[in-house]
């Protein structure tokens, strides 16, 4: 596992772009790597957790404030 967290700025992107960009970024991370996603697409509230479940990644947290969402994902093995 790694302690480094990469950030994906998906602000202003609409479905399905936040999830597609997250998938691409996660491919380059080592197993156990962390990805923080910043999003403001209302569909991301459903799409990101669903993507994590389907891909086998762990959604560590999902927070929202002022119309902005922040997701923290740990890459599976």
Identify the CATH number of the domain in which residue 50 sits: 3.30.110.40
Angstrom distance (rounded) from CA 13 to CA 39: 7
Angstrom distance (rounded) from CA 18 to CA 12: 9
Question: Which residues does the annotation mark as catalytic?
Answer: 15
Question: How high is the mean pLDDT of the chain?
Answer: 95
> Phi and psi for 40 in degrees, rounded to 5?
-135, 10
pTM of this structure: 0.93
Average pLDDT (53-58) is 98
Specify the number of domains making up the chain: 1
Q: Give the structural domain span for 30.
A: 5-74
Q: Are 44 and 53 in contact (CB under 8 A)?
A: no
Distances (CA, A) of 70 to 12, 19, 48, 60: 14, 13, 10, 11
């Amino acid at each position: 596992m790694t302690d480094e967290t990469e950030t994906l700025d998906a602000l202003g992107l609409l479905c399905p772009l936040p999830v597609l960009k997250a998938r691409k970024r996660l491919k380059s991370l080592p197993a156990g790597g962390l990805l923080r996603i910043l999003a403001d697409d209302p569909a991301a509230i459903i799409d990101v957790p669903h993507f994590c479940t389907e891909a086998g990644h762990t959604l560590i947290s999902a927070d929202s404030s002022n119309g902005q969402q922040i997701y923290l994902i740990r890459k599976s093995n």
